[in-house]
Structure 1
Amino acid sequence: MGTRSCAAIIKDDLILMVRQTYKGNTFWTLPGGRIEPSEKPSDCAIRETKEETGLEIEIIDLVCAFFNETIDGLYYCYLGRVIGGKAELGTEPELSTDSQELKELRWFPISKMKNHKEVKRVLAFVREKQIVTKCRVLNLWS
């Protein structure tokens, strides 16, 4: 897979996820994908979110960055805020119509996704930030 960047988009106690099939496995994940050569991880999260969800976002903060053995590369996750667009399942421009990996787009109640490995990191980050900057975090998704 290589180095990957994604965005967590939370609004009204919901988190946006995409259902994707990759190498025969289907799973729910945060919108994101491979970082292009000379692309910043934050720019990749913005681009991939637009491609996969139709939403334009701005980056609020870096949630985490670490080496991920599963993808054999660096994994970046950002907290994003919607600034435009309409939520609809996108396509991957490098894949043909019959080989698209994106299957579904859905807003999930955070309470139902709190044990998802990616969402757990995001929730821990948001909790930590609320302690430090309560007013700022409460206004992130308004």
Structure 2
Amino acid sequence: MKRVDVAYVLLFDELEQNVLMVRNIGTGPSYFTLPGGAVEKGETLKEAAVREVKEETGLDVHVDGVFSVGEAFLEERGHHVIFFTFVGKIIGGEINISFPEEIEEVTWMDLKHAEKYIHISSGFEGLIMDRNTIPYILREKR
């Protein structure tokens, strides 16, 4: 299986009642995720998160700590995926779909509804309400 790292960003609206979600066009029906995507070779997790949000939504973001880390074995793709979800803040830009062949919609979704799409495992419901993070530490390249 090929290892794939994916960086997502959890972005709240000004009142912290909604989360920014994107509707992705897949091989089957479209589906919601947080904005984000695969980390490219030589790119840090944070760089990938910021780039992917810009590509998918048109927004500039600052990324803070890590909200969650998860993993999945996607047998049909032959991928072992590690999902890194950061908490971020919108610092500029305007919502704009740059890749309409990949992204169908960018929308604000209430927290409870959004939680269904962000890979929160059973027993961790409500985690999104806490907004807890751990630090992201980038060690210098040697």
TM superposition score normalised by structure 1 = 0.74
The residue that corresponds to 1:140 in the other structure is none
AA paired with 2:95?
A
The residue that corresponds to 2:20 in the other structure is 16
Give the distance between the partners of 2:102 and 2:34, measured in 1 at CA: 14
Give the distance between the partners of 1:67 and 1:109, measured in 2 at CA: 24
What's the CA shift for 1:119?
6.4
8 A contact 2:115–2:128 mirrored in 1: no
Give the distance between the partners of 1:122 and 1:114, measured in 2 at CA: 8
Give the distance between the partners of 1:128 and 1:55, measured in 2 at CA: 21
What's the CA shift for 1:68?
1.9
AA paired with 2:111?
I
TM superposition score normalised by structure 2 = 0.74
The residue that corresponds to 2:62 in the other structure is 58
Uncovered stretches (5+) of structure 1, i.e. residues with no partner = 92-96, 131-142
Uncovered stretches (5+) of structure 2, i.e. residues with no partner = 134-142
Give the distance between the partners of 1:88 and 1:73, measured in 2 at CA: 28
The residue that corresponds to 1:48 in the other structure is 52
RMSD of aligned Cα (Å): 2.6
- Residue 38 of structure 1 aligns to a residue whose secondary structure is coil
- Residue 113 of structure 2 aligns to a residue whose secondary structure is helix
- Identity fraction in percent: 23
